[in-house]
C-alpha cells in the first residue's frame, strides 16, 4: 500500500511526497513519515494519503480500507453492472484479430 500511496500522491499532487536535498535527509523523512499535503487537497484525499503512507506497515490501511474510503466513489454491484454495460469502448474480436494481423506483419517484415 505504501507504493500505491507514493504513486497516487505523485499523480494527484504532481511531485513525490518525500523530497529532500540529500539521500540521508530523504531517508529520515521517509522513516518519520514526514510529508506535507497542499492546502488545495480535499480533507478526504489528505486522510487517504495519511493512511497509505503510514510508517508502521501493521497500522497502514489495506485494500479493503481503500475501497471503502470516502475519497473514492461508492460503487455497489448495480453501479458496477451499469458501468460495465455503458463502457465507452467495447473490444470486438474482429478488431483484435485485425490488430494482431498488422502487428504480425510489422514483426515479420522487419
pLDDT digits (tens, 9 = 90+) for 82-99: 544 444 445 555 555 655
Return d(Cα 106, Cα 53) in angstroms, integer.
Answer: 45
Return d(Cα 60, Cα 48) in angstroms, integer.
Answer: 10
Averaged over 42-57, what is the pLDDT?
A: 92
| pLDDT at 93 (0 to 100) | 55
Q: What is this structure's pTM?
A: 0.64
Question: How many alpha carbons lie under 13 Å from residue 105 in its C-beta half-sphere?
Answer: 6
Contacts 24+ apart (CB under 8 A), 8-11: 8/48, 8/49, 8/52, 9/35, 9/49, 9/52, 9/53
108 has a pLDDT exceeding 60: no
Structural domains of the chain sorted by starting position, each given as residue range(s) with its CATH number in brackets: 2-109 (1.10.510.10)
Rg (CA), the chain: 21
Amino acid at each position: 500500500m505504501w507504493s500505491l500511496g507514493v504513486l497516487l500522491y505523485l499523480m494527484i499532487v504532481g511531485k513525490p511526497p518525500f523530497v529532500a536535498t540529500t539521500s540521508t535527509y530523504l531517508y529520515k523523512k521517509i522513516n518519520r513519515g514526514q510529508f506535507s499535503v497542499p492546502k488545495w487537497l480535499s480533507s478526504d484525499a489528505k486522510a487517504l494519503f495519511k493512511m497509505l503512507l503510514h510508517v508502521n506497515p501493521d497500522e497502514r490501511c489495506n485494500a479493503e480500507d481503500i475501497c471503502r474510503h470516502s475519497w473514492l466513489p461508492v460503487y455497489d454491484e448495480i453501479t458496477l453492472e451499469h458501468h460495465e454495460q455503458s463502457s465507452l469502448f467495447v473490444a470486438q474480436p474482429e478488431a483484435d484479430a485485425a490488430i494482431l494481423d498488422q502487428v504480425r506483419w510489422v514483426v515479420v517484415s522487419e
